[in-house]
Amino acid sequence: MDMDWCHGAMCTSPSGTTPGRKAAPWKAYIVPSSAMSTKAKRSSLDKSIYDEEQLEIASSNIQAKIQNPLHGLSRETLLKGVDSFVKEKGLEEKTKLFKVAALLAQNPGDFESMPELSEEDKIIIRRETTHRWSQTRDLYKTIIICSLAAAVQGWDQTGSNGANLSFPQVFGIAPVPGDAAASQRNEWIVGVINSGPYLASCLIGCWLTDPLNHYFGRRGTLFWCGIFCTLSVIGSGLAQTWPQLFVCRLLLGLGMGPKATTSPVFAAENVPASIRGGLVMSWQLWTAFGIFLGFSANLALQGAGSIAHVSSRIIVLIIMSLFIDWIEIVSLESPRWYMKKNRYSDAFKSFCRLRNSELQAARDMYYAHCQLVVEMQVLKGSSYLSRFSELFTVPRVRRATLASWVVMIAQQMCGINIIAFYSSTIFVDAGYTAKQALLASWGFGLINWLFAFPAVWTIDTFGRRNLLLFTFPNMAWTLLAAGFCFYIPASSAAKVPLIALFIFLFAAFYSPGEGPVPFTYSAEVFPLTHREMGMSWAVATCFFWAAVLSITFPRLHSAFGSVGAFGFYAGLNVAAFTMIFFLMPETKQRTLEELDYVFALPTHKHATYQLKEFLPYWIKRYVLRKNVELRPLYDFEQSDDTPIKDKVAR
């Protein structure tokens, strides 16, 4: 295939505008290629004309420049590339369509004056900006699938919360009055049982994502994970001893890991960049709904026997049945997965169902293919082990690995899961009865869900990074305040309501920030050549520390008391804030192609900018109230005919 049409830089796709740019930004996706057939790789790459200097620019963006790479290509060269593309991929009947799509992508800001576009085409392109939430039914079906998976995930997280009040007695592992050694042993056992799904997920389940997606696709992986989770929950409901329950919860983790890893990626691959954050965060929104549903079941079935037995059999099986049935009805697969398999005809059909017109589908698919060519030269991972090693050895990927690690571990450092896992225990310790504790936990779950809704709009406007920098300090002081409230005498009627108030405020700050950001952020920061592996790493990080928290909190709570435990996690919030400030680049309204440039910027340059530019600006602007301007970190320059090597040398 002649690749002269793509000479010059990373290829991207236009579909909207971003404030502060001279030209419309390009909204598209980096195409996964780690599993692409050898024949397809060879046909696309052997004839590429990228030189070493250009590839170095793609992986090391010292000048922090982001540009439209196709500007300046001659019409003849561009259309010649389209002819080669459609011929190689068996799309000759769509040649005219792809040529118009390529011209549109070359000059996204000039579509109004393009004679090749009909008035109907122009209306559709305008609506990408004016009606960005107006998407196809099939796209929203994809989001519903991911949302159902998330709801089940949330249920799984709270299945043991209310049960912590009952299953230790049922299985003979409750604290033993007067026997400190036995009580300590039983506390560790309870912690290990609660951590079971997360241990299995981080050690095995998450790392099955890459091969499962390779053989079954995104949708197929979710289908099999749903079945596995259902069967393991049935086993948990039938368990007669704590080792049996622990084994079933380990098996549950084998399904949870690939599901939590695949669902956000599935959504991120299918949605336009202008609303990617708002739709991909549906994972957290409906995880929060699942948590709320779990608390509701615990409250409704309180006194109906063992909550672990009754609620898991009734609630989870209903949800899982709906989830599996929906997947069977909806047959849409990710077009990026089809492209990995070199099934471009199927990929185009899928794109057409995800976009409002064939023109948009052709435009996005064409430039996704272009990005695949670039990435396969810069990131050559082709085997499972090589892709894993490149998470830490390839600079652009390593920076994404670090950023995703920071945002994922911060979710565990913030302390949310000490509430999600042990809120009933905490409220009982504060002085509530078992029923009152379940009611307070239900209130926590409701707030956690409702306050996630604002992030649907703010995550793509206020930004991922800014949401975290705003909410982490507030989570720190609310946890600290909740801990100090335990000093209030038990005789005071204000003690328990104040503890509940500050825990609810903590949830209100968590839900629009550290709730939706980690999975959304991790699903978008990796190039698609390494997306499954990178997301596996990120989710494994999250679940590993969730397991550590589950195991250690009963002993931490016993040793430090509620005041010490809450104070400890308040301090971790401050530490997480510092890590985010220095190590997490912003990704809002960046196309996935632009993120290659963002993460090609060395980490030390990003950290230096935050310390020497942003922090002084913030103090002068918001503390001293001075009228100052902030020098932007990235230079979003209009592409021109200047060679890339000359731009970088400026």
Among the listed residues 198, 207, 197, 152, the one whose alpha carbon sits nearest the alpha carbon of residue 327: 152
Residue 605 lies in a domain: no
What CATH number is given to the structural domain containing 463? 1.20.1250.20
Q: Which pLDDT belongs to residue 231?
A: 79
The b-or-e profile of 391-427 (16+ CB within 10 A means b, else e) is beebebbebbbbbbbbbbbbbbbbbbbbbbbbbbbbb
Number of domains in the chain: 1
Task: Provide the whole-model pTM.
Answer: 0.74
Cα separation of 201 and 206, whole Å?
Answer: 5
Residue pair 401/369 in contact (Cβ under 8 Å)? The answer is no
Highest mean pLDDT among 52-56, 395-399, 420-424: 395-399
Cα separation of 73 and 81, whole Å?
Answer: 11
Residue pair 124/104 in contact (Cβ under 8 Å)? The answer is no
- Say which amino acid occupies 12: T
Burial of 72 (0-12, 13-18, 19+ CB in 10 A): middle
Residue pair 28/591 in contact (Cβ under 8 Å)? The answer is yes
Cα separation of 344 and 365, whole Å?
Answer: 9
Residue 507 lies in a domain: yes
pLDDT tens-digit readout, 99-131: 888 888 777 777 777 888 888 888 888 887 778
- DSSP alpha helices (H): ranges in 599-643? 603-609, 615-618
Among the ranges given (169-183, 278-292, 295-309), the one the predictor scored with the smallest mean pLDDT: 295-309
Domain limits at 465? 137-596
- How many residues in the chain? 650
Which residue would you say has higher pLDDT here, 75 or 325? 75
> Which parts of 51-159 are beta strand (E)?
65-66
Give me the torsion for CA of 306, 310, 315, 320, rounded to 10°: 110
Among the listed residues 416, 437, 415, 439, the one whose alpha carbon sits nearest the alpha carbon of residue 426: 437
Residue 527 lies in a domain: yes
Mean pLDDT of 384-393: 88
Residue 573 lies in a domain: yes
Q: How many CB atoms lie within 10 A of CB 327?
A: 18
Q: 50's torsion region: left (phi>0), alpha (psi -120 to 50) or beta? A: beta
Return the biggest CA–CA distance within the chain.
Answer: 87
Residue pair 189/242 in contact (Cβ under 8 Å)? The answer is yes
Residue 626 lies in a domain: no
The b-or-e profile of 77-86 (16+ CB within 10 A means b, else e) is ebbebbbbbb
pLDDT tens-digit readout, 132-172: 787 888 888 888 888 887 887 777 666 665 566 667 777 88
Cα separation of 456 and 434, whole Å?
Answer: 35
Among the ranges given (64-73, 271-280, 420-429), the one the predictor scored with the smallest mean pLDDT: 64-73
Distances 186 to 172, 282, 330, 555, 560 between C-alpha atoms, Å? 9, 37, 46, 10, 17
Cα separation of 161 and 307, whole Å?
Answer: 9
Cα separation of 460 and 275, whole Å?
Answer: 7
Residue 628 lies in a domain: no
Tokens 């970088």 label which residue? 648
- Say which amino acid occupies 82: V
> What is the token pair recorded at 187?
């506390």
Q: Which pLDDT belongs to residue 242?
A: 87
Cα separation of 613 and 582, whole Å?
Answer: 12
DSSP for residue 415:
T
Non-local CB neighbours of 199 within 8 Å, separated by 6+ positions: 250, 253, 543, 547
Residue 21 clears pLDDT 50, i.e. is over it: no
pLDDT tens-digit readout, 180-236: 788 888 888 888 888 888 899 999 999 999 899 888 888 888 888 877 877 787 787
Beta-ladder partners of 65? 635
Non-local CB neighbours of 602 within 8 Å, separated by 6+ positions: 60, 62, 395, 399
Residue 114 lies in a domain: no
In percent, how much of the chain has pLDDT > 70?
Answer: 77
**Mean pLDDT in the chain?**
77
Distances 590 to 125, 186, 398, 598 between C-alpha atoms, Å? 19, 49, 19, 9
Straight-line distance from the first to the last Cα atom of the chain, in angstroms, rounded to the nearest whole number: 33
Mean pLDDT of 366-392: 75
Residue 31 lies in a domain: no
Non-local CB neighbours of 582 within 8 Å, separated by 6+ positions: 606, 607, 610, 611
